[in-house]
């Protein structure tokens, strides 16, 4: 068995790293030998996450909706090797005639504009050979009813990834596009309805289950370590776009 720590002596920064896919990615990177720095808006979740990460991991409570806060964060931590952005708020679906445009703009703030701000201020701190991995979703490929806002954000993230890969070359910029994942982002849906949704979604997928955060985290790890991929948006959805 190969036990070489492939990310030894590397530092991985995960924005949105206190829960869900972000925390799973931080754990996976740490298992590969990386030093991990996580950030999210909630200090309590940061503290809980640090208890699950190796000693020496660092965590910061940062309001990622503020560009100034993002800039100050990167100024504080200094040089590093890989940036992962997974931050997002609870998902909301709505029929077109019920969409509140002012509230909907807030979803773009954290998922798109803050991701762009993170790359704007963080990319100059990334060491040679490093990478950026953003987060989108498979909703842009096959949106369901009520997914107008979610599908729009997903498609925007694809374009952003490709543009940044060109803009920042030779720094690699890629994006993970998960399908259904069991995370707290579905927490606004009542538990019984949520479990019924996961069960129904899992049965419809070729792989017959909804992903865990740990399964999705492996895709981030792949893009961090795959030194010949850039501008790529990798769908990991259990075959959802085929179902």
**Sequence ranges of the domains in the chain:** 11-236
Residue showing tokens 């964060």: 73
pLDDT tens, residue order, the chain (243 aa)? 445 678 999 999 999 999 999 999 999 999 999 999 999 999 999 999 999 999 999 999 999 999 999 999 999 999 999 999 999 876 677 788 788 888 888 889 999 999 999 999 999 999 999 999 999 998 888 787 888 888 899 999 999 999 999 999 999 999 999 988 888 777 677 888 888 888 888 888 999 998 999 999 999 999 999 999 999 999 999 998 887
Please calculate the CA angle 166-172-174 and round it to the nearest 5 degrees.
90
pLDDT given for residue 91 in this prediction = 65
The answer to whether 110 touches 149, Cβ cutoff 8 Å, is: no
Token pair of 95 as six digits:
């029929």
Reported in sequence order, the residue ranges of 64-109 that DSSP labels E, i.e. its strands, are 80-85
CB atoms within 10 A of CB 83: 26
- Whether the ω angle into residue 21 lies within 30 degrees of 0, i.e. cis, is no
pLDDT given for residue 4 in this prediction = 61
* 57 in active site: no
Read off φ and ψ for residue 135, nearest 5 degrees.
-130, 130
User: Which entry of 41, 136, 138, 200 is annotated as an active-site residue?
Assistant: 136
The domain covering 11-236 belongs, at the CATH homologous superfamily level, to NAD(P)-binding Rossmann-like Domain (3.40.50.720)
Partners of 132 in beta bridges: 83, 173
């Amino acid at each position: 068995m190969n036990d070489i720590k492939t990310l030894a002596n590397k530092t991985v920064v995960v924005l949105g790293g206190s829960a869900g896919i972000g925390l799973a990615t931080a754990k996976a990177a740490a298992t590969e030998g990386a030093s991990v720095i996580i950030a999210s808006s909630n200090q309590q979740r940061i503290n809980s996450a640090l208890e699950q990460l190796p000693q020496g991991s660092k965590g910061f409570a940062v309001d990622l909706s503020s560009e100034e806060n993002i800039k100050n964060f990167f100024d504080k931590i200094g040089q590093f090797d890989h940036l992962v952005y997974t931050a997002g708020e609870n998902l909301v679906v709505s029929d077109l005639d019920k969409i509140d445009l002012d509230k909907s703009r807030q979803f773009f703030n954290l998922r798109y504009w803050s991701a762009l701000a993170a790359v704007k201020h963080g990319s100059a701190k990334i060491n040679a050979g490093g990478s950026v991995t953003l987060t989108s979703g498979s909703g842009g490929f096959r949106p369901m009813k009520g997914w107008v806002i979610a599908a729009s954000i997903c498609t925007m993230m694809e374009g952003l990834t490709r543009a940044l890969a060109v803009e920042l070359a030779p720094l690699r910029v890629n994006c993970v596009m998960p399908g259904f994942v069991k995370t707290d982002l579905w927490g606004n849906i009542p538990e019984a309805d949520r479990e019924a949704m996961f069960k129904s979604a899992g049965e419809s997928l070729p792989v017959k289950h909804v992903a865990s955060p740990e399964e999705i985290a492996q895709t981030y790890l792949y893009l961090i370590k795959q030194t010949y991929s850039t501008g790529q948006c990798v769908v990991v959805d259990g075959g959802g776009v085929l179902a």
